[in-house]
Copies of this chain bind each other. A is one copy, B any other.
Amino acid sequence: MSHIVDFEALGKRLAGKSVPRATSGTLSGHAAGEPFDKLTCAELCAMLPGKIFRQYEYLNNLYTKHLNAKSLEARNKLIQSPTVLFLLSRGKNATENWSPDAQFEEKQNDTADILAVDGDFFDLIDVKTKNIDKKAQPPNIISAYKLAQLCAKMIDNGEYDTFTIDYFGIDWTLDGTNLVCRNTHHANLFRADPSELYINWAAAMQIQFHVEECDQSFAGSRELWARSYLKHFTDKASDRAQYTLDKYVTPFLKYIR
């Protein structure tokens, strides 16, 4: 299996749909488009009933179904793939402290907005919304370091086909008190040329791109993708180390006696 969601069909369902504008806040930034995130989730639920979850909701369901698994180790074993476990699980303490009365809630730095699950295959989906009447910086996609760790795990475990990561872009404009979906875009992370991914070191090492501008030409294996990305990441990290020396050390050495 390589995909669960038909993103073209999803785009058709969303085209022209509107959501009420939030009563407060600006019309730029991610927060304004947040109702589209919820709408996307609802449309996916209609398309794939029983297979769509919020990330925290999936974990809550999983732990609730296996209440006898109480330790960190036992709970971690509920997700068979070490790579998927790395992507989905909360921290050590949070996982140990989970209980039916103290379940997980939505968390900003969860990897995915939406999880599509079919058998043992996971599609991690992030929704990126954009007011197309405003200029916007490319959004944060994923931590470049987290992705490097993920690639290392894929290679360590020879695990290349248990999950994928998709980005779904929603362009909207304001219409009275509603936001209207004007266009949608889809990009799969592992079809992007890894050597073209932009890493913003100053912005917490986030990979950044506009979904519609993401190159989708990579046709090699997932293993090749992982190794190519690690080459790219280590090259850029080496560049960053050299930049730190060139900008913050060399110019000041003459003042030090």
Q: Which of A49-57, A62-70, A90-98, A227-235 contacts B (4 or more CB under 8 A)?
A: A227-235
A230-257 at interface with B (beta carbon < 8 Å): 230-231, 233-234, 237-238, 240-242, 244-245, 247-249, 251-253, 255-257
A interface size (C-beta, 8 A): 29
Would you call A237 and B227 a contact (CB within 8 A)?
A: no
A152 within 8 A of B: yes
How many angstroms between the C-alpha atoms of A242 and B244 in the bound complex? 10
Across-interface contacts of A255 in B (CB, < 8 A): 151-152, 155, 226-227, 230
How many angstroms between the C-alpha atoms of A234 and B249 in the bound complex? 5
Would you call A244 and B234 a contact (CB within 8 A)?
A: no
How many angstroms between the C-alpha atoms of A249 and B241 in the bound complex? 10
How many angstroms between the C-alpha atoms of A134 and B234 in the bound complex? 40
Report if A238-B245 is in contact (Cβ < 8 Å); known contacts: A151-B255, A202-B204, A204-B202. Answer: yes
A121 within 8 A of B: no
How many angstroms between the C-alpha atoms of A244 and B244 in the bound complex? 9
Closest to A256 in B: B231
Across-interface contacts of A252 in B (CB, < 8 A): 148, 152, 230, 233-234
How many angstroms between the C-alpha atoms of A226 and B253 in the bound complex? 12
A209 within 8 A of B: no
Task: Give the 3 A-B CB pairs with smallest separation, nearest first.
Answer: A237-B248, A241-B244, A241-B241
